[in-house]
A and B are shown apart, each in its own frame.
Chain A
Amino acid sequence: MEKEEVKQKIYALVEKSMGKKKLKSSDIQKTVSAEAGISRDEVKDALKDLIDDGKLIYTYFGGSFVEIPPKE
């Protein structure tokens, strides 16, 4: 699977769970790798790109989560 496609899947997953459940990096890795049938390292790599580009960010609320940055 193309990395771009993995990135889209990750973003969609985070978007869908916003306001319902905060996702940890490992939740994303587990869910997307299972759904797309790819390795966790591939998901991890795509997630790293999304974070480096600022499309997603890490947040901390007593634990570390991955979320969409707030619009300011």
Chain B
Amino acid sequence: MALPQRRTDIGPPHYKDFLPPVMLKNYGDWKHHEILNPGLMVHVANSGDKVWSIRVATPRLLSTDTIREFADLAEKYCGGYLRWTTRNNVEFLVSEEKNIEPLWKELVEKNHMMGGIGNRISNIVHTQGWIHCHSAATDASGIVKALMDDLADYFTTRETPNKVKLAVACCTNMCGAVHCSDIAIVAIHRKIPKIDHDKVKNMCEVPSTIASCPTGAISPDPARKSIKVNDEKCMYCGNCFTVCPPMDIADPEFDGVAIVAGGKVSNLRSNPKFSKLVIPYIKNNPPRWPEVTEAVRLILDAYIAGAKKHERVGEWIERIGWEKFFKVTDLPFTFQHIDDFTIARETFRTAATFKW
């Protein structure tokens, strides 16, 4: 069968072709919204019109079967209109109030999980992992599944002092805003790359490989027409591997994950902030990474116990101080916690004020 005529540079379809009529009619003219339950909110327009959104968790990786199931439900109850959120949830956009209950009921019957709206844990932003990425030091989807199973109540019902945004990055390239999340997991290597010198000649450009190194650990190896890595300088980031594939850095025995905490992207109350290192290393323990879920629980429980209403994890930690954070969580403080990269001196305590 002949293929249709290809077109180039047409860009994406226009969004207005995909908005439900009620959103098109009240575009830019919304008055307020209300969270009716953890999986349901209503937006009210100045005209008095309303649109209800039911939020459903997905694992981000979806088969066409499940997408068709979502499409069928949207057709049955929402005039065919639905959207995805930036945190991989589906939102059914309901224009008629009478459709809320039957849609909810059918979602429950089909074992879907509604929630994530308001002060609780929403879905986890994450990366490709072993499923499809060349530089993954762990599997993001597996950790997400294990974490969300453990924290399911916080998605569907239970509240936290404010939103808790979780993220998982399968290497330090950090696709996704892992560096500014309340609690995030980032996979790391701990051994220098192994160089396949024969392949370097054909596959790699020496200057860009050298430039890819944040610590200046890579230098030319003229004798071999290759490059070499200074093991005293290498911080195992793996950036060189992306530029020069014959620098394999994956190491099943020593790869694993670090946990960072206290970041946020919103400007609400306090400025956006980076997440900071709280646990430097946990071994990869597939399929369910129990040590990782335990560690996240520990930080989350301490936050829930200690934070004031509306404080995010980072705001709570800044109020009590990092020294107290390590005390209340009983997490070990190590050399890895003290910055020796590009902004080290900004992070040293230049005051005699701290807690015992």
- Give me the interface of A with B, judged by CB distance under 8 Å: 21-22, 61-63
Contacts and interface: CB of A to CB of B under 8 A. Distances in A.
A63 B205 CA distance: 11
A61 B203 contact: yes
- Number of contact residues on B: which range applies? under 10
Contacts of A21: 205
B6 to A, nearest CB: 12
Contacts of B203: 61
B99 interface: no
A18 B194 CA distance: 27
B230 interface: no
Nearest to B240: A62
Given A21-B205, A61-B205, 6 more contacts: A22-B205, A22-B208, A61-B204, A62-B208, A63-B208, A63-B243
Interface in B130-167: none
16 contacts: A21-B205, A22-B205, A22-B208, A61-B203, A61-B204, A61-B205, A61-B208, A61-B243, A61-B244, A62-B208, A62-B212, A62-B242, A62-B243, A62-B244, A63-B208, A63-B243
Interface of B: 203-205, 208, 212, 242-244
Contacts of A62: 208, 212, 242-244
A27 to B, nearest CB: 13
Contacts of A63: 208, 243
A62 B204 CA distance: 10
A21 B206 CA distance: 9
Contacts of A61: 203-205, 208, 243-244
A22 B243 CA distance: 12
Pairs A-B, 10 closest by C-beta atoms:
A62-B243, A62-B242, A22-B205, A61-B243, A62-B208, A62-B212, A63-B208, A21-B205, A61-B205, A61-B203
A21 B203 CA distance: 12
A61 B243 CA distance: 6
A63 B204 CA distance: 12
A62 B205 CA distance: 10
Contacts of B212: 62
Nearest to A20: B205
Contacts of A22: 205, 208
Contacts of B243: 61-63
Nearest to A22: B205
Contacts of B205: 21-22, 61
A5 B242 CA distance: 36
B245 to A, nearest CB: 8
Contacts of B242: 62
Nearest to A52: B8
A21 B208 CA distance: 10
Nearest to B212: A62
Q: Looking at A61, A62, A63, which has the most chain B CB atoms within 10 Å of its CB?
A: A62
B11 to A, nearest CB: 17
A21 B242 CA distance: 18
Contacts of B208: 22, 61-63
Nearest to A63: B208
B247 to A, nearest CB: 11
A62 B293 CA distance: 33
A32 B280 CA distance: 50
A57 to B, nearest CB: 16
A22 to B, nearest CB: 6
